[in-house]
Structures are given as C-alpha cells and as structure tokens.
C-alpha cells in the first residue's frame, strides 16, 4: 500500500512534480520515502525514513533540477521502515532504479536464483529482485523494453511499478498487475505515472488507466505505448478526463482532512442522491444499474462483499434491502469470502462496496466469481478504479476524493446509495415514500448534528484516558456500533469493540466496570425499551454510559452519563445521523490525544495487498 509517482518531460520539473505527487499519496503509506532522478547520464538517489517532508528537507531547497524522476512513499510489507529498505531499489551499477507498490510473491525464489548467479542484495525487500532481474535480462535483450517485458513475465503477485534506466533517461517504464496505476498525459509532451490521479491532478486532467497485465513505455515528447503482456499486443485506450479539482484534495481551512470530510456530509448526501431521487414523482433512478435492470428482476439473493468501514456500510445495506426490497442479503468479509466454498446460483448478485475501488481483498472476491455467471455490482467512490471497471454495473458515490485514512464521508455516501438501491429494487412497500422523502430531507438534519460538534467535543474530552470502550446497538444501531468502534480504534488507538446490545449478557458484560465505558446507540426505534434494559444492566455494574439519542428523549438522561442528540428520523436513516456523532466523538478524542488523525499508525487508506 505504497504510493509511486514518475515524471518525464522537457521541463526540469521531475523532482518537484514527484515530491508534490508523493505528498498527495501519503495516505497510502508514510513510513519512509525516496526518489531518484536522471542527471548527467547517471541516476541520483535519495531515501529517507519518515514522511515525504523528510525527503524534501534532505533534497534541500531549491531542489536539484531534473527532467526525469521517480519516487515512492512506503507502507512496509517486507522489511522494516529503514533507509535501506526504502525505495527506489537498484542494480549493482545503479543504472536501473525501480519503485514498486504491491507484493512480489515469488521474490524468495527469484532472489535465490539471482544470488546463485552472483547477484548480491542490500535490502530485506521483495522489490529489490526487480532491478537485479532487469539487469540480468538486459544482457539478453535487444533493448530495455524487451528486458522489462521479460521481467514482468517472471513476477507473481501484485505490482504497480516504475523503472528508470540510464540507458533511456527520458523514458518511464511502468507496469500494473493488481495495484492501481494511471498515466497522466500533459500537453507539452510530458508524462506523469502515479498510483492515484490525486498525484498528477495539479498538472493534467487527461489520464489513461492501466489494466492488469499491461505496461506502458512513455518517452517525453513521443507517443506513449501501452502493451498487453498476455496478448502480446499494443493497446489503444482512450484518454479520460478527471472530474475533480485540486482544491478537493486540500484541507482548506480545516486542521485535518478527517474533520473536513466529516463536515462534507450534507453535501455528500446531496451528491449521492443528485439526479437519482425524485421525491415528487416518488421514484429512484439509478442510471448505473439500468443496463442490468432486466437481470435484476430475477435476483433472489444478494451477497455484499467489502472490508472495514465499507463492510459495515454493507451491514446497514443488509437491513435496508431485506426490509425494503424483500431480497435476502448476506454480507461477507471479502478477505474471508475469497476462501469460502459456498454454493452460488445465477440468480445471486454479488455487490462489492469500496471507497478506493482498489482494495485487494474485495478485488479478489470479484475475481473469484468472474466465471460463475453471477451479476457483479459495485458501489464505489473512486471513478475509474479497478473495482469500478471489474463490475458489470454499479453506482458511483460521487463523494469526491477521501484523503483521511479513517473513512467518514464515504460511509455516509455508501449508506445513502444502499438506501437508494433498496428503494430501486423494491416492488413497493409502505416505507417507500417516507424513506424517499426522509433521504431528501436528511442533509438538513446532518447540518443540525454538525452544529452540536462543540458539545460532542466536550464529552469526548472526558473519555480520552479510557483504554477500553464498548459500542452497542440494536438492528440498524448494530452495524452503526461496529462502525463507531472501528472509528475510535483506528484514530485514537483505544481498544473498542462493537457489539449487538442483545449479546451483552452472553459475555461482554463481564468486562464492564467503572473504567470501561459503553457508547450506546439509543435513537428512536421499536427496540428502544430493550436498549434501555441493556444500558441498565451496564449501569448495574457501574459502567459509564455515553448515549446517542433522538432529540426530545428526556428519559435517557437518567440512564446515561452523557447524551448526544440527533434530530428525529426514521430508524432506517438513523445510521446516517448516528455516524456523524461517532465520527466527531472519535475525532475529538484523537485530537485531544494529540495523535496524527489523518495518518494513524500502522494503517493506510487503500489496502492494495491481501
């Protein structure tokens, strides 16, 4: 889960373009960074442990000029975050340099073969086999492109990689298998290759997405060539135009991307429903599903696959689709789904949910069923991403780029879309119109929740020193509890568990004492009385309780130590309001603990390896 960027052009912008690009990709990994650039016939290298800023400082200001450079920001998989293990990696003569995102699964085998041929290795990484293998095959090839192709055919696993050679200092060699890679085409004949369009957006909106088993040779001032390794053919692919701007990937006046993205929630719901819900006509239009509308009529089971926050959005979708559309739904963790042997009938649809569209486990789940003849649908935020292109049909979230590692607005967009999918698949239910109208009214209610941010911060401050936290909820409150616990875990490092409130007596209650607070989701629902009983069970063990409740609920103040209110809404839309409270609560706890909210330790935004 690293980020890679490369530039070649007439103008000596290589280093600044690569450094700015790496900074934009830091959400993908940030334990070390490095780059190399062509200068006077050689490749100059600089690698630093820590953030891209450390690399920028090391290069000094003004940074050296170069018309060709490649760089990398790392999330260690093989070998600890050290200067030696940082990328780029190189051959003995330092005439070939490589940056890589992904995992070379057969690296040990290749390393052994090359060691036997006298090659020596300096790092613990899987990636280092690539420059040595390029060195080996260059001696057996007409040119570097031929050697590059031969090497790619040796590699197993996942890669988005970039190579530079002193032999062709104005050319980028890039390849993709299972890790995202996009080529940016500039009007002055320059090229930028990156793991994500965010890294090149400041320079061009004209992009070409690479598919698996493809590589591109891009020489500045010449036409680029994409080749398909499997078919051994040239690939002619249209240039696409990016539909978002650089300011969408800047913090603006906010202290962190996370709080900016939380405050985007009202707009996120508006964008997720724009042109799709028509409350007056009482219809939901999902153009992205129209192409498979006939097949959808015969669907009698939906399996949702996803990871992390997207999985919890899927759990809310399960309740919605079953209740509104009457179609049985199963939600599977993508990393487990890949290795299960469950029967599939053609009347089952697989629905993949992903913010980044690049999560390896979710991609693997889609690959698993590609020959099952089942419909593969997607709810994806990143336009043009792998999952978006793998699925037969789907619905984009239109939430704009999400930069903070902790997913917030994407969850809001995903649940808004799943609500629309439930309505779209519904054959009519008494809940249809009220739910459609409520979805339309929700952005205003979310704004009301955001207005209570200060009160939420004051409550959050009281729980900064707690080491454990339990989140409980019933029905739609259950997946909300799971998501709330994940948010607190991943940015505050407090151990937090989400649990179905009804499960308390079957074990978790044993953990409860005055030092173990519980976050109870107690918004209006036909099960509220039962949730009250669960809260009283906790109170009986002196457990502190923080509750989210519906405005006007006075009774809860006698049960909970702290209460955060949301406006009245349907139970089916309550996860969208409750999520804002939990996101703000977690955010303020992490800020109070002075943690790096946007880049929590040990995590990365897009998990592109299994």
Tell me if 607 contacts ligand AGP by CB under 6 A: yes
Q: Which is nearer to ligand AGP, 18 or 316 (CB)?
A: 316
Question: What's the min distance (Å) between Cβ of 406 and ligand AGP?
Answer: 4
Q: Which is nearer to ligand AGP, 130 or 576 (CB)?
A: 576
Output DSSP code: residue 88: P
The span from the CA of 413 to the CA of 251, in Å, is 20
Output DSSP code: residue 502: G
Q: Which is nearer to ligand AGP, 185 or 488 (CB)?
A: 488
Out of 16, 23, 91, 309, name the contact with ligand AGP by CB under 6 A.
Answer: 309
Q: Helix or strand or coil: residue 304?
A: strand
Strand order in the sheet with 562-566: 495-500, 468-473, 518-522, 545-550, 562-566
Give strand ranges (E) for 523-603: 545-550, 562-566
Site for ligand AGP in 329-388 (CB under 6 A): 354-356, 359, 362
Question: What's the min distance (Å) between Cβ of 368 and ligand AGP?
Answer: 16
The span from the CA of 383 to the CA of 370, in Å, is 21
* Nearest alpha carbon to residue 349 among 397, 294, 396: 294
Q: Which is nearer to ligand AGP, 528 or 604 (CB)?
A: 604
Q: Which is nearer to ligand AGP, 569 or 606 (CB)?
A: 606
Do 141 and 163 touch, CB atoms closer than 8 A?
Answer: no
Q: Which is nearer to ligand AGP, 28 or 107 (CB)?
A: 28
Question: What's the min distance (Å) between Cβ of 408 and ligand AGP?
Answer: 8
Question: What's the min distance (Å) between Cβ of 451 and ligand AGP?
Answer: 24
Cis peptide leading into 88, omega within 30 of 0? yes
**DSSP letters spanning 164-218:** EETTSTTEEEEEEEBS--EEEE-TTS-EEEESSGGGTTTT-SEEEEPPTTEEEEE
Which residues lie closer than 8 Å to 463 by C-beta, 6 or more apart? 469, 517, 546, 589
Out of 406, 442, 545, 584, name the contact with ligand AGP by CB under 6 A.
Answer: 406
Do 181 and 194 touch, CB atoms closer than 8 A?
Answer: yes
By rule CB under 6 A, what string of x and - marks binding of each residue 576-605 to ligand AGP?
-----------------------------x
The span from the CA of 499 to the CA of 554, in Å, is 25
Q: Which is nearer to ligand AGP, 27 or 215 (CB)?
A: 27
Question: What's the min distance (Å) between Cβ of 258 and ligand AGP?
Answer: 9
Q: Helix or strand or coil: residue 311?
A: helix
Segment interacting with ligand AGP, rule: CB under 6 A, options 21-29, 304-312, 320-328, 525-533: 304-312
Tell me if 405 contacts ligand AGP by CB under 6 A: yes
Q: Which is nearer to ligand AGP, 97 or 194 (CB)?
A: 194
Q: Which is nearer to ligand AGP, 482 or 560 (CB)?
A: 482
Question: What's the min distance (Å) between Cβ of 562 and ligand AGP?
Answer: 24
Question: What's the min distance (Å) between Cβ of 308 and ligand AGP?
Answer: 2
Q: Which is nearer to ligand AGP, 15 or 366 (CB)?
A: 366
Cis peptide leading into 62, omega within 30 of 0? yes
Segment interacting with ligand AGP, rule: CB under 6 A, options 88-96, 177-185, 194-202, 403-411: 403-411
Beta bridge partners of 231: none
Site for ligand AGP in 485-504 (CB under 6 A): 490
Out of 4, 24, 134, 307, name the contact with ligand AGP by CB under 6 A.
Answer: 307
The span from the CA of 11 to the CA of 249, in Å, is 25
Provide the 10 A C-beta neighbour count for residue 137: 18
Q: Which is nearer to ligand AGP, 171 or 606 (CB)?
A: 606
Tell me if 483 contacts ligand AGP by CB under 6 A: no
The span from the CA of 374 to the CA of 377, in Å, is 10
Question: What's the min distance (Å) between Cβ of 183 and ligand AGP?
Answer: 22
Question: What's the min distance (Å) between Cβ of 456 and ligand AGP?
Answer: 19
What does the CA dihedral 595, 601, 605, 610 come to, rounded to 10 degrees?
A: -160
What does the CA dihedral 447, 448, 449, 452 come to, rounded to 10 degrees?
A: 120
Beta bridge partners of 103: 158
Number of chain residues interacting with ligand AGP (CB under 6 A): 16
Q: Could you give the C-alpha distances from 521 to 334, 420, 467, 474, 534, in angstroms and in order?
A: 27, 24, 20, 8, 11
Q: For 460, how many CA atoms within 13 A lie in the half-sphere containing its CB?
A: 22
Question: What's the min distance (Å) between Cβ of 150 and ligand AGP?
Answer: 33
Site for ligand AGP in 234-293 (CB under 6 A): none
User: So which residues are the catalytic ones?
Assistant: 2, 605
Beta-sheet pairing, 301-306 with 348-354: parallel
Please state the φ and ψ torsions of residue 607, each to the nearest 5 degrees.
-90, 90
Q: Which residue, judged by CB position, is nearest to ligand AGP in the bound state?
A: 308
Tell me if 310 contacts ligand AGP by CB under 6 A: yes
Do 392 and 292 touch, CB atoms closer than 8 A?
Answer: yes
Segment interacting with ligand AGP, rule: CB under 6 A, options 149-157, 301-309, 392-400, 436-444: 301-309
Which residues lie closer than 8 Å to 181 by C-beta, 6 or more apart? 4, 160, 174, 175, 193, 194, 195, 209, 210
Question: What's the min distance (Å) between Cβ of 490 and ligand AGP?
Answer: 6
Residues found near ligand AGP in the complex (CB under 6 A): 307-310, 354-356, 359, 362, 405-407, 490, 605-607
């Amino acid at each position: 889960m690293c980020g890679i960027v490369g530039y070649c052009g007439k103008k000596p912008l290589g280093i600044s373009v690569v450094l700015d690009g790496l900074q934009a990709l830091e959400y993908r990994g940030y334990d070390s960074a490095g780059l190399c650039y062509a200068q006077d016939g050689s490749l100059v290298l600089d690698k630093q442990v820590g953030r891209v800023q450390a690399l920028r400082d090391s290069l000094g200001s003004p940074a050296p000029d170069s018309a060709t450079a490649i760089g990398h920001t790392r999330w260690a998989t093989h070998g600890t975050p050290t200067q030696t293990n940082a990328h780029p990696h190189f051959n003995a003569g330092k005439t070939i340099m490589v940056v890589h995102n992904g995992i070379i699964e057969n690296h040990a085998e290749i390393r052994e073969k090359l060691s036997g041929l006298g090659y020596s290795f300096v790092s613990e990484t899987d990636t280092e086999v690539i420059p040595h293998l390029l060195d080996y095959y260059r001696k057996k090839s007409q040119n570097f492109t031929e050697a590059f192709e031969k090497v790619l055919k040796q590699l197993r696993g996942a890669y988005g990689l970039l190579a530079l050679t002193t032999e062709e200092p104005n050319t980028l060699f890039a390849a993709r298998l299972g890790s995202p890679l996009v080529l940016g085409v500039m009007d002055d004949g320059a090229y930028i290759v990156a793991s994500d369009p965010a890294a090149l957006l400041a320079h061009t909106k004209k992009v070409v997405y690479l598919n698996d088993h493809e590589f591109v040779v891009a020489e500045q001032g010449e036409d680029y060539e994409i080749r398909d390794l499997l078919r051994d053919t040239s690939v002619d692919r249209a240039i696409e135009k990016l539909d978002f701007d650089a300011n969408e990937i800047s913090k603006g006046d906010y202290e962190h991307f996370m709080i900016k993205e939380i405050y985007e929630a009202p707009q996120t719901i508006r964008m997720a429903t724009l042109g799709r819900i028509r409350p007056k006509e009482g219809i939901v239009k999902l153009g992205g599903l129209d192409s498979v509308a006939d097949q959808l009529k015969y669907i009698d089971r939906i399996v949702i696959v996803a990871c992390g926050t997207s999985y919890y959005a899927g759990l809310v979708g399960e309740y919605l689709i079953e209740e509104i559309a009457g179609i049985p739904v199963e939600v599977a963790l993508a990393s487990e789904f890949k290795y299960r042997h469950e029967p599939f009938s053609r009347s089952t649809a697989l629905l993949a949910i992903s913010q980044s569209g690049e999560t390896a486990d979710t991609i693997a789940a889609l690959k698993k069923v590609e020959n099952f003849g089942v419909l593969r649908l997607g709810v994806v935020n990143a336009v043009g991403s792998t999952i978006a292109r793998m699925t037969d049909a789907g619905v984009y979230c239109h939430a704009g780029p999400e930069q903070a590692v902790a997913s917030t607005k994407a969850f809001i967009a995903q649940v808004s879309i799943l609500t629309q999918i439930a309505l779209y698949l519904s054959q009519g239910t008494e809940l249809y119109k009220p739910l459609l109208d409520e979805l339309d009214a929700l952005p205003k209610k979310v704004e009301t929740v955001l207005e209570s941010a200060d009160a939420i911060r004051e409550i959050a401050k009281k729980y900064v020193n707690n080491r454990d936290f339990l989140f409980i909820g019933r029905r739609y409150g259950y997946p909300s509890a799971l998501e709330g616990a994940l948010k607190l875990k991943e940015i505050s490092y407090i151990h937090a568990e989400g649990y179905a409130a009804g499960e308390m007596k079957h074990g978790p209650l044993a953990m409860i004492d005055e030092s173990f607070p519980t976050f109870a989701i107690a918004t209006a629902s036909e099960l509220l009385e039962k949730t009250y009983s669960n809260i009283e069970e906790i109170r009986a063990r002196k457990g502190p309780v923080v509750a989210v409740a519906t405005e006007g609920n006075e009774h809860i103040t006698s049960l909970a130590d702290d209460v955060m209110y949301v406006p009245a809404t349907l139970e089916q839309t309550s996860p969208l309001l409750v999520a804002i409270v939990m996101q703000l609560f977690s955010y303020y706890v992490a800020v109070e603990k002075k943690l790096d909210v946007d880049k929590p330790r040990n995590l990365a935004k897009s998990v592109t390896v299994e």
